[in-house]
Amino acid sequence: MSEQNGPSNNKDSDQAQSIGLILADDDFFIRESLKVLIGLDPGINVVGTASNGREALELLEAGTTADVVLMDIRMPDCDGVEGTRLIKSHFPNVQVLMLTTFDDDEYIVQALQNGASGYLLKNVPPDRIIQGIKTVHNGDMLIHPDIARKLAGLLRPAAAPQAHESLESYGLTRMELAVAEAISEGLSNKEIAAKLFLSEGTVKNYVTEILGKLHLRDRTQIAIFMLKK
């Protein structure tokens, strides 16, 4: 059952500018625990909870202002994979972060292909979940390291000498290719900037160029494209 948190008469300016978050998990106790733990961070405001992906969508359709949906991947009626598809098709600017105890190959690929911005396992500490929410809100992609390694094996075909030649046929420069590869490794703009000795602003410009040349929508699609290549 979905629950929208009512407006507070004592909201200060910091809370008004915080990240609006919807929690979607079919386990009531997990929902409430996450609500309490995440709510301790002044930069995040839990604006609603839902027991499946469709209820999360209904909260958004009802006018709940949210920037990020933190969603379990296995739920009855409407799981996180389908929930992501519905949310991204109706609210493309809302970021979806998958949180689950399952590292199921098929679910991982489908969730990312449907537009999820990241994927974390539930065994990570609360501060990692909070940081993950902030990371995807900033437009970066977040994938648990164990899952990133698995994705590479799932999506990458057998290595071929023409692999880089194929990528260069899309008109990517060497630096754009390096940025795209770093995105496929799950690095944030800040991490890419440090790795390639660039400013974050320059990295953002490269990302924009890559999206245009590859005719892609977001960083997640860049990562999937690179892993397939």
DSSP bridge pairs for 48? 4, 22
- Looking at residue 43, its pLDDT comes to 95
Residue 130, pLDDT above cutoff 70 = yes
Element (H, E) at 20: strand 19-24
Q: How confident is the model at residue 37 (pLDDT cuts 50, 70, 90)?
A: very high
Give the domain ranges of the chain. 3-152, 157-228
pTM for this entry: 0.70
pLDDT digits (tens, 9 = 90+) for 174-211: 899 899 988 888 788 888 989 898 888 899 999 999 99
Contacts of 150 (CB under 8 A, 6+ apart): 103, 105, 108
Length of the chain in terms of residues written: 229
In degrees, to the nearest 5, what angle opens at C-alpha 203 toward C-alphas 199 and 207?
170
Residues 207, 189 contacting (CB under 8 angstroms): yes
Task: Quickly name the fold that domain 157-228 has.
Answer: Arc Repressor Mutant, subunit A (1.10.10)
Select, from the ranges 28-32, 99-103, 157-161, 216-220, the one with the highest average predicted confidence (pLDDT).
28-32
Task: Residue 130: count other Cβ atoms within 10 Å of its Cβ.
Answer: 18
Q: How confident is the model at residue 100 (pLDDT cuts 50, 70, 90)?
A: confident
Task: Quickly name the fold that domain 3-152 has.
Answer: Rossmann fold (3.40.50)
